[in-house]
A = this chain, B = another copy of it.
């Protein structure tokens, strides 16, 4: 499976800039979402829209962001996403965003997702989904782009 499917390109929109001249910080979470969407379509072979239609939702329960460098309007960015199960009831994405030209880092971080039904009630992820995820995450997975040493549940 091709590593490229983990990586999407996007351009910084004018609407995503702020008066400091770089992107406003919350946009990074929106770009992370774009990365997840394509990771699921390409690696899982199941779009997140299709997953929701099957009654499985993946709301964020935790997010972490490190801002490493600016990105201006019209800059072309690479969003590199790696995913894995996080215990049996969590799904985690590690994301690194860099400038397409030159590779300068822009922002990195992760999101942790629960499995819920359409009303937000926690569910056990269906077996078929866990299999899909494990297969996708293991097949020729690129070295995770970033592995911070701390997460909210790695305490002993």
| A residues neighboring B (CB under 8 Å) | 11, 13-15, 17-22, 24-30, 33-34, 37, 47-49, 52, 57, 59-67, 70, 72-74, 111, 120, 148-152, 155
Query: From residue A43, how far is it (CB to closest CB) to chain B in Å?
Result: 16
Measured in the bound complex, the distance between the Cα atoms of B33 and A11 in whole Å is 12
| Chain B residues with CB under 8 A of A73 | 19, 48-49, 52
Which B residue sits closest to A154, measured CB to CB? B150
Query: From residue A6, how far is it (CB to closest CB) to chain B in Å?
Result: 17
Show 10 A/B contacts (Cβ-Cβ < 8 Å), sorted by A: A13-B37, A14-B18, A15-B26, A15-B30, A17-B19, A25-B60, A60-B65, A60-B67, A63-B63, A63-B65
| Chain B residues with CB under 8 A of A152 | 66, 148, 150
| Chain B residues with CB under 8 A of A155 | 149-150
| Chain B residues with CB under 8 A of A14 | 18-19, 24, 33, 37, 48
Query: Contact: A120 with B70, CB < 8 Å?
Result: yes
Measured in the bound complex, the distance between the Cα atoms of B57 and A73 in whole Å is 13
| Chain B residues with CB under 8 A of A151 | 150
| Chain B residues with CB under 8 A of A57 | 20
| Chain B residues with CB under 8 A of A11 | 37
Given B27, B64, B66, which contacts A26 in the complex, CB threshold below 8 Å? B27
